[in-house]
A = this chain, B = another copy of it.
Amino acid sequence: MTMLGRQYDTQVCSIARALEVVGERWSLLVIRDAFLGVRRFDDFQRSLGVARNVLQSRLERLVEEGILERRLYQERPPRHEYRLTDRGVDLWPVIFALMKWGDRHAYPDGPPVVAIHRGCGGEVDEHRICRKCGCPLEARDVQPRPGPGARANAAALHPALA
């Protein structure tokens, strides 16, 4: 974090700005999990296998940056969950592009997860357009399904894949 020099800070660049907010592996994996329906601290922790203090600091940073919203879901004792804001949901194309790159270059025998158009069941292509009906798709239109490269325990880790 502190490695970012002064010149970097003053770069007029949308990519540099975006990376200041989410340019860190754990942050992007937290956002991935949020898209998959994970909301509670312990569920993020189980899914990511990251140290609790690291997870806490990433969640706090994402709340400060307006990517996640912290909501009370139980009063006694008070318990909070984390949900994507609109600004966070707008990161879906980034997550999707990373997934497609990983599908192609890390899982040549078949992707662990396939994205499906919720409306018509068509597969989502690399441009986030439905192969079946031709609709340009947003995050809310798309449902993840275990793909040919999925492990048996994927559904246990991610409720959205169940």
Contacts and interface: CB of A to CB of B under 8 A. Distances in A.
A10 to B, nearest CB: 9
Contacts of A72: none
Nearest to A151: B12
Contacts of A141: none
Q: What is the interface residue range for chain A against chain B?
A: 35 or more
B28 A15 contact: yes
Give the secondary structure class of A's interface.
helix
A117 to B, nearest CB: 14
A54 B8 CA distance: 14
Contact of A129 (B8, B112, B127): B127
Interface string A134-160: 001000000000000111001000000
Interface of A: 3-8, 11-21, 23-26, 28-29, 32, 48-51, 54, 87, 90-91, 93-107, 111-113, 126-129, 136, 149-151, 154
